[in-house]
Each structure stands twice: as structure tokens, then as C-alpha cells.
Chain A
Amino acid sequence: MKNHVLRPLFAAMALVALILTARALMVPSDFGVHGKSFTYNFYRAGAVSDWKNFPVSYKGGGSCVECHDENAESLAASRHQIIQCENCHGPARNHPEDPETLTINRSRDLCLRCHADLPYPGSLRSELPAIDPGEHNPGEACVECHNPHNPNLEDME
């Protein structure tokens, strides 16, 4: 057969070979179907461990008590016992190494998240002790009078 007839065929074969080599080099070896279906389980297996290795910031639980036992004990005995320290002070990460200290938020907005009066029947919000921020000592920080780690009114001085 004539050369000019075969030439495009060779060009096409070379192109296919090139694409296949590029694919073999660029697609990670752990790419494939891991699980039941091609539709939902076609992926790079390493992506799962990538996500598993994401760093944890919120330590939670009783991780603060060993150093801040006073605050922790007072909170645990108070009506605020259900609130995690890190909600008010931010994620601990590797505190006290990094960051060395956590934020202290004395703003009224922190407390108003739960205590601003919203008359919502059928929601737990309407059962929390509530104040009208416009009338309850406006302009003053709540923590001037209330102890955030022990807000119980009967313990107020």
C-alpha cells in the first residue's frame, strides 16, 4: 500500500500511545473503584487518608481542667455547665504551646447569643433565662456583674 495512506494511521496510533502513556504517568496508581459502585466510589484512595490527617483544633471535653481547674470546677457546678469552654474562648489547638493563650471575649454579644429575648413558642430558646439587651444595663459588659463561669443568680455578690 502507498505510504501516504498509511501515514495518517501511524500518526493516529502514535497519538493514542502518547495519551495512554500520559494517562499512566499522571493518574495515581491508587485511583480506581474502591467500594460498591463505579458511580459513587471511583476515586483516589489517598484522598481518604488526606482528610483523616486534617488537624484537630477543638480539643473539647475535660482537656482544660488539669491547668484551669478553678474555672473548670466552677463552671461544672454552675448553670452554664453545658457550655464548652472553647465556645467562648475559641479552639485550643495546641494551647498552651501554640497559641500560648486563648482569647477572652468580654463582649455583650457573646452572652446575647443565648440570652437576648426571642419570644419563640416551640423552641428551647424561649425557655432560656432572657433579658432585653436594650433595657438590661445597656452599655455595660455582662461580666461586670455576672461571672461567666458561674452565672447563678443566687451566688451573685
Chain B
Amino acid sequence: MKCSRRSFLKKGLGSAIAASLPLSSFKFLSPAEARAAVGDPAVRWGFLINTYKCTGCGFCVKACKKENKVPYDLPVTRTWVERYVVTRDGEAHIDSPAGGRDGYTDPKIEGKEIAAEEITKAFFVPKLCNQCQNPACVQVCPVGATFQTEDGVVLVDRTWCIGCGYCIMACPYGVRFFHPVYKVAEKCTFCYHRITKGMKSACVQACPFGARQIGDLKDPDDPVTRAILTQRVAVLKDEYGTKPQVFYIGLDENVR
């Protein structure tokens, strides 16, 4: 075997560098560390709703309105709870008085008495902004007043919104409304001021039964991510292609 002086020096230098590398530089990066190294935003907020656990107490709606200073007695709300009562004839009776703000205390639905024997299934479905991956409401804004943050929450810039209402029409889920005080488009922010401080959204904190949960979908160890990965979940109006990020356990065909 021939070994020139040049190649000897080259290989010698190479092995010296390799030998001086500590073992720790070969360790595997966790997905979170790898993402941080690549510069990808580390968080993607997502929501999980378990409709089996919702009792229709309405504390989430109350907490949302008070936390976010949405006028309490006007018929506008960022989140609401719907009641579905399906009877033996296959009919679904649906209501949401005042968005469920005061809870469900009356078995009558829109004045109609429904006998307990007639009910085949009945449940409550909380609704809020889906913080879509492809938000139709943002696409239609003519002035750039609504946008998606890097951690996936769709916000409205109150100083920039001209109140044209395109986004309110564009949302397939009807979660946007016109703010009666600020005269701009208004929507659920996942309580951006809370989640960015490490707190839970007001509705999540208010729910005594854990029917609402918020989490980081990019963290594989987050209980919400875990549940979405391992359990059977569904989203609302998948066919619109907006890629909603609010996932439901126990969704029913009657829920639109």
C-alpha cells in the first residue's frame, strides 16, 4: 500500500479532529430541538373538544364574554354551546339560547316539550373559531387587517380593520361578528393574551369537566396532541378545505 506524505497528513488531521469530538455531538435531537435549530416556530395552537363531557352549564361562554369584554347582554359571542336532541323519528332538535351563556336549565326546546322516552341521543357541542390552517376569512380581507400569527392563531387588527364585513361572510363556521363597540370584525383569539403567558384560554379554565382543552400541536407530548393522534377525532366542515385546528371527540352527523 502506498502512502504519500500528503495523504498521511490529511488522514492524520482528519482522525485527530474526529477523536476530539465529544460523544455528545452525535446524540439524537428531539423533534422540538430539531425544529428550534431549523428556525420553525415552535408552537401551533390547537383545540380539543370532548362532546361527551360537556354538560351545557355555559360557564365557558360566560367566562369568554367577561374575559374578552364582549358586550354581555348583546346577542354576540365568540364561543357558544349548541344543544342537540335527537328523537326516535330521527329528527334533530337544535337550539342555543343566548349562545348557552346561562346554561341549559329547561328541557323545552324552543317552547317544545320533548318526552324523555322519545329521546334517542342528546348532547351539547361547544363551538369557537377553528383557527384554520387555510383561513378563508384572512384570504378575503382587502386591507390586511386580519392575519395568521406564526403560532397559528387568526387575529384581527382593530386599528386597521375598516369593518367591511367580508370576513364575516367568508367564514364557513359563522364564528365572526361585528363588534358593536369597536365597529370592527371580532372573533375568538384562543385568548391570545393568556396562552402566550402560559395560561389556559378562559373557556378552558372555566370548564369544570375538561370538555375543552387547548394545546400545542407541534409538541408530541402535549396531552391534546396525544389525544388527537391516538383517538378518533373529527373536524367541522372538512369539505371546505380550510383545515380547521379544533378537533372534536364524539361528533355527530347532525352537527354542522
Interface residues of B in 11-66 (CB under 8 A from A): 51-59, 62-63, 66
CB distance from B223 to the nearest CB of A (A): 17
The answer on a CB contact under 8 Å between B199 and A123 is no
- Cβ of B57 and Cβ of A91 under 8 Å apart? no
Q: Does A99 contact B (CB under 8 A)?
A: no
Is there contact, CB below 8 Å, between B205 and A116?
no
A25 to nearest B CB, angstroms?
Answer: 15
Q: Is the interface of A mostly helix, strand, loop or mixed?
A: loop
A-B contact list, 12 entries, CB within 8 Å: A39-B139, A47-B155, A52-B196, A53-B193, A54-B192, A58-B67, A91-B66, A114-B55, A118-B122, A120-B121, A121-B120, A125-B55
Min CB gap A49→B, angstroms: 10
Cβ of A34 under 8 Å from chain B: yes
* Chain A residues closer than 8 Å to B159, beta-carbon distance: 44, 47, 50
Contacts of A119 in B (CB 8 A): 107, 116, 119, 122
A-B contact count (CB 8 A): 150
Chain A residues close to B by CB (< 8 Å): 31, 34-35, 39-44, 47-48, 50-58, 60, 82-84, 86-87, 90-91, 109, 112-114, 116-125, 128, 133
Question: A50 near B158 (CB under 8 angstroms)?
Answer: yes
**B interface size (C-beta, 8 A):** 58
Min C-beta distance of A141 to chain B, whole Å: 15
Q: Are A43 and B147 in contact (CB under 8 A)?
A: yes
Which of A57, A90, A109 is the one whose CB lies under 8 Å from B102?
A109
Closest residue of chain B to A108 (Cβ to Cβ) is B105
Closest to B153 in A: A51
Contact A56:B194 (CB < 8 A) given known A84-B208, A121-B119: yes
Tell whether B182 is near chain A: CB-to-CB under 8 Å.
no
Task: Tell me the complex Cα distance, A52–B199, Å.
Answer: 12
Q: Contact at A87–B62, with CB atoms within 8 Å?
A: yes
Cα(A133)–Cα(B104), bound, Å: 13
Asked if A48 and B139 make an inter-chain contact with CB atoms under 8 angstroms apart, the answer reads: no
Q: Which of B67, B106, B138 contacts A39 (CB 8 A)?
A: B138
CB distance from B104 to the nearest CB of A (A): 6
Asked if B123 and A113 make an inter-chain contact with CB atoms under 8 angstroms apart, the answer reads no
Among A87, A124, A128, the residue within 8 A (CB) of B206 is A87
What's the least CB distance linking B124 to chain A, in Å?
6
Q: B209 at interface (Cβ–Cβ under 8 A)?
A: yes
The listed residue (B139, B146, B148, B192) touching A35 by CB distance below 8 A is: B148
